[in-house]
Amino acid sequence: MSAEATRPETDSHHIDFDPEVQWPEINQILVRKLRFDIEKSPQLPVEVWLLIFQLATEVPFAFLPRTESPFDLPSHPNPKEMTTELSRSLKAKHHLALVCRSWNEIATPFLYGAVLLRSTRGVTAAWNTFCDSAESDTGVLLGHHVKRIDISLRDLQMYHPGFDRERERMTERISDILQRLPNLSVFSMRTQVYSGDATAFAEALTYTSANTLHTIEWEGINKPCDRFCHSGAPWAKLVSSCPNLKSFDGPACWIFPTALHPDARLSHLSITHDDIEAWEAQPDPPTPLHIRYVSPGGRHITHINTRACFSRAISLDVDFRSQDDLNRLLTQSPNLSQLVLRASWPLMQGLTLDPSITHLGLSVYEKQTTLLYVVKGLGRMADWKIPGVKTLRLMSRHTLLEGENLQMKRVQKALQKIREAGLVLENWEGKPFV
């Protein structure tokens, strides 16, 4: 049905939709229009209401797998922008819920498509709502409409000992909510929690929505990391149970102790690790992670990024102990074009990179970094055999390469050598060194 066919003939019912207007303004305009139309003309065609609900509750980028790769297109939102968009959309949804009770059957799928829990009060309200819908006689289960849930509890530090009672209550309610979302596609968590809490969430998701999840995002890992990683088994079980998994962003111990689901088509992979020193200080560190943990689902990877760096080993999303392991991963990722490595300069040399990789992000273990160390590494870059790479980016905030240090002869000589090799060297912000 065309847009013209859905519009009433009178100007009072006309919806002016300007795609250039920011989403918050669109939401406000549509909400005001909705209030007016319900009061003045409750007999509007269903198609018009459907269009209003769809536009007013739109959450940009909500259901797209995302990657933390620094070489993404500018149009990709970062987590902060995405959370802001979700927040704005939910404000509009709140107003819609107040005026569309008689249109509940039509509005519900739009109102509950993406849910953001950003306070303990919001968790309690959502929990009550989902429980009430399950106990009502209407047969409408609101949880079945939720495809994305973002949990970002700004008002509760769930890892703080002083909040144990409130933390336990929130953990129970969040777990219960997750068990009511059988069609969930995106799970995003940005709250620091205890190992046991993370385990409860993993078990709830495995039980309810493993078959539908395509994106798992987790930021905010509790310390010490050895305690946290010991809880990785339930998450590894979840990951191995997701046949539709496309994007994963979380601790390495959640995804690599087990194989991916054989039907998984993982395309975006970002591995995190919060506490490097605690990991390395373990008397019996975890078994080295090898390429076999990525295959076969990893053969579809197109974006790989790691925020874990280890002083004793090269790291590509996991703690690789040899260049052979890393080269095997690259060999099994034929579609890879964007790569971020964190390791020591010597271990980075000798890599066999596929010509399809055109953007390479590099970082060194910063606690060991000196100006001489960085300069030597820069000088070695130009000698690498990386036929397809056009852009090199230093991922860390190398303050050593700023101000007067940048004008030193040895630094300029290293930069000149890189330019002569036809490479562009960028800093962590993506700006070229000059």
Residue 389 in contact with residue 423, Cβ under 8 Å? yes
State the pLDDT confidence band at 181, using cuts at 50, 70 and 90: very high
CA 68/CA 82 separation, integer angstroms: 13
Q: Phi, psi (5° rounding) for residue 328? A: -65, -40
What pLDDT shows up at residue 4?
Answer: 36
pLDDT, position 196: 72
Q: Looking at mean pLDDT, say which of 10-14, 107-111, 186-190, 262-266 comes out highest.
A: 186-190
Residue 121: per-residue pLDDT = 85
Asked whether the bond before 296 is cis by omega within 30 degrees of 0, the reply is: yes
Give the residue-averaged pLDDT of 41-55.
Answer: 67
Higher pLDDT, 258 or 215: 215
Distance separating alpha carbons of residues 224 and 235, to the nearest angstrom: 18
Separation of alpha carbons 428 and 396, rounded Å: 6
Phi, psi dihedrals of residue 213, rounded to the nearest 5°: -65, 130
Q: Average pLDDT of 404-409?
A: 66
Reported as a single tens digit per residue, the pLDDT across 58-75 is: 666 666 655 443 333 333
Cβ count near 115 (within 10 Å): 26
pLDDT of amino acid 290: 27
The full 3-state SS of 92-140, as one line of letters, equals HHHHHHHHCHHHHHHHHHHHCCEEEECCHHHHHHHHHHHHHHHHCCCCC
Is 131's pLDDT higher than 70? yes
Query: What residue ranges do the domains of the chain occupy?
Result: 366-434
Cα gap 262→85, rounded to integer Å: 34
Q: How confident is the model at residue 220 (pLDDT cuts 50, 70, 90)?
A: low
pLDDT for position 20:
38
Q: Which of 344, 375, 361, 354 is nearest to 427 (CA)?
A: 361
Among 187-196, 309-318, 373-382, the range scoring the smallest mean pLDDT is 309-318
Whether the full predicted model's pTM is greater than 0.75, yes or no, is: no
- Residues 388 and 363: their CA atoms lie apart, in Å, by 19
Q: 349 in helix, strand or coil?
A: coil
What number is the average pLDDT over the span 123-140? 81
Res. 11: pLDDT tops 50: no
**Region of poorest pLDDT, from 91-105, 146-160, 312-326, 393-407:** 312-326
- 122 or 354, higher pLDDT: 122
Count Cβ atoms below 10 Å from residue 280 Cβ, excluding itself.
Answer: 13
**Given a cut of 90, is residue 140 above it in pLDDT?**
no
Dihedral sign for Cα 402, 403, 405, 411, please.
positive
Q: Is the pLDDT of residue 213 over 90?
A: yes
What percentage of the chain reaches a pLDDT higher than 90? 7
Tokens of 73: 């297109």
Q: Return d(Cα 260, Cα 243) in angstroms, integer.
A: 8
C-alpha–C-alpha distance, residues 151 and 259, integer Å: 27
Partners of 419 in beta bridges? none
pLDDT at residue 176 is higher than 90 = yes
Per the DSSP assignment, residues forming a β-bridge with 306 are 271
> How does the average pLDDT of the chain come out, rounded?
63
- The whole-number average pLDDT for the span 31-43 is 55
What is d(CA 288, CA 253) in angstroms, rounded to the nearest whole number? 11
Rounded to 10°, the helix 371-381/409-420 angle is 20
Q: What is the pLDDT of residue 314?
A: 26
CB atoms within 10 A of CB 316: 25
User: Is residue 235 pLDDT above 70, yes or no?
Assistant: yes
For residue 19, say if its preceding peptide bond is cis, omega within 30 degrees of 0.
no
* Higher-pLDDT residue of 127, 60: 127
